[in-house]
Amino acid sequence: MNVPLVIKHRLRELGLEQKDLAIAAEVTESYISQLLASKKAPPAPGRTDIYEKMGKCLRLPSGELSRLADVQRREDLKKKAAESPRPLFKDCRELILRKCEPGKEAEVREIFEKEPFGALERLVTQKLLDVAKRVAKEELESENWLRLVARLAGRSYEQMRVLVLEFLDTDVFNVSAENWISFLDPLIESWDLNVETFGVEIVLNRRLALDHLKRFEFVERKPEQPFDVEPGLEEFLKDPSLSSDAAGEEIEFLKRLRFKERRPTPLYYYRELQNLRDPLHFHIPAASPSRPSNSRKVAQSPQPAEPAPAPDPSDGSS
């Protein structure tokens, strides 16, 4: 399915022009023109709001354009699957190195230049892209944020929306110098690399990101050992009077409890389940004074240390 053809057909049926669609999608008319001429690939549906805006303008069913774009992108990806990845543009490498911590730039440059697009250069580039994309996706619907980035980059609001939409759709092998100059340059203040541990530290512009410091480290971890389900837990799960209303995530929590010597009874797991559900057993996070972010984080209950064994039901306790 060809998305540009569908859009052109609806524009003709409704008597609309490209500029009408550009206004509705809050992008430049030039971007719409290149999209309809197939000079630009349809952006990934999950990374943009453009299809919803265009769909309303074209009076198409909700989600229809996104579905068609997803089908077309899958077909295009099959064609590109056999192609070898291209090295990073030389201009992009220079822009990346310009943001490197001054004391490390010469050392990192020497490593980068040993290979056209080596593992370390891909690692740094990927982390910079990951951080920038996360910020861009969270703020895409914020007009004030987009206007601020546009002002810092010397672009119009509509031009910046196009740049962000295209940036969200790029990858480490296709990022362009325009992506760096127009969006990444004002967003990223600097980055540093520990060449021994391969830890990466990225500093973002405080005006554009709430969390301005990001660190990525590689930590050696022991693989998780397979474990047997406790007999007491098996009995608990088989007894409807104890476990009939237990949710999947609650059962997973109970499965991860560990015991060294003493073996818990089904009654212990029932009481542990009630403790897990009791709001008095957990602290409520204090409200942050900073401005709200579009992303939402779900707090996870801490895994308790090995609990004390439940009393034997035969001793008369309830």
Query: pLDDT class for 229, splitting at 50, 70, 90?
Result: confident
Residue 301 has pLDDT above 50, yes or no: no
Query: pLDDT class for 299, splitting at 50, 70, 90?
Result: very low
Spatial contact of 187 and 204, defined as CB atoms under 8 Å apart: yes
pLDDT for residue 292? 45
- CATH numbers and ranges of domains, the chain: 3-80 (1.10.260.40), 90-216 (no CATH), 226-278 (no CATH)
pLDDT for residue 86? 54
For residue 72, which of 45, 52, 48, 49 has the smallest C-alpha distance? 45
- The interaxial angle of helices 3-14 and 29-36, nearest 10 deg, is 120
pTM of the model: 0.51
Averaged pLDDT, 193-202? 87
pLDDT for residue 48? 75
The owner of tokens 């940036």 is: 167
pLDDT for residue 294? 47
Query: pLDDT class for 318, splitting at 50, 70, 90?
Result: very low
Query: pLDDT class for 316, splitting at 50, 70, 90?
Result: very low
Residue 304 has pLDDT above 80, yes or no: no
Tokens at residue 80, please? 């590109």
Averaged pLDDT, 209-230? 74
pLDDT for residue 295? 42
Query: pLDDT class for 197, splitting at 50, 70, 90?
Result: confident
Give me the chain's average pLDDT, please: 81
Residue 169 has pLDDT above 70, yes or no: yes
Query: Model confidence over 173-186: pLDDT tens digits?
Result: 777 778 788 788 88
Q: Percentage of the chain surpassing pLDDT 90? A: 21
pLDDT for residue 191? 93
| Choice between 307 and 71, residue whose per-residue pLDDT is larger | 71
Averaged pLDDT, 299-310? 49
Spatial contact of 148 and 161, defined as CB atoms under 8 Å apart: no
CA atoms within 13 A on the CB side of 218: 10
Spatial contact of 242 and 271, defined as CB atoms under 8 Å apart: no
Query: Model confidence over 240-267: pLDDT tens digits?
Result: 999 989 998 999 999 888 888 889 999 9
Residue 114 has pLDDT above 50, yes or no: yes
Q: Tell me how far apart the alpha carbons of residues 205 and 318 are, in angstroms, rounded to a whole number.
A: 59
198 CB-contact burial (10 Å; exposed 0-12 / middle 13-18 / buried 19+)? middle
* Listed range (85-89, 105-109, 278-282, 293-297) with the worst mean pLDDT: 293-297
For residue 69, which of 90, 95, 49 has the smallest C-alpha distance? 49
pLDDT for residue 123? 87
Spatial contact of 89 and 176, defined as CB atoms under 8 Å apart: yes
CA angle 229, 233, 235 (to 5 degrees): 115
